[in-house]
């Protein structure tokens, strides 16, 4: 997919990609650059560690409706089909 930068420097992320990535209005993104290009990453709140018995378990701090639902199997299949 292609998109353009407007005069104000904004880039529109196509709806299909926003939906696949679970991005909605107000989602915080981290923008970084490297030798390959520009990367956008969702800013995720870190998990908190909770002691369960004798073990520490990581529990998400984001509310369930704020967490993206990602179909891991579909992502793996999509990646496999990307290469001939």
Q: What is the model's pLDDT at position 39?
A: 92
As a whole number of angstroms, the distance between CA 6 and CA 22 comes to 24
Distance (Å, whole) CA 15 – CA 2: 12
- The answer as to whether 4 is a domain residue is no
Look at residue 48 and tell me if it is in a domain.
yes
Q: Could you tell me how far CA 10 lies from the centroid of its own chain?
A: 19
The answer to whether position 73 is within a domain reads yes
Q: What is the extent of the structural domain holding 75?
A: 15-82
1 within a domain of the structure (yes/no): no
Beta-carbon contacts of residue 32 (< 8 Å; ≥ 6 apart): 38, 39, 41
- pTM for the predicted model, two decimal places: 0.51
User: How many domains does the chain divide into?
Assistant: 1
Residue 33 is assigned to a structural domain of this protein: yes
Tens-digit pLDDT string for the chain (84 aa) = 888 899 999 999 999 888 888 788 888 899 999 999 999 988 877 889 999 999 999 988 877 777 777 888 988 998 999 877
CA dihedral 23, 25, 26, 29 (to 10 degrees): 40
């Amino acid at each position: 997919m292609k998109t353009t930068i407007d005069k104000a420097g904004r880039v529109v992320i196509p709806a299909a990609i926003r939906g696949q990535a679970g991005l909605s209005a107000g989602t915080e993104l981290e923008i970084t650059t490297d030798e390959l290009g520009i990367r956008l990453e969702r800013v995720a709140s870190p998990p908190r560690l909770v002691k369960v018995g004798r073990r520490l378990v990581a529990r998400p701090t984001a509310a369930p409706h704020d967490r993206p639902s990602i179909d891991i199997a579909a992502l793996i299949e999509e990646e496999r089909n990307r290469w001939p």
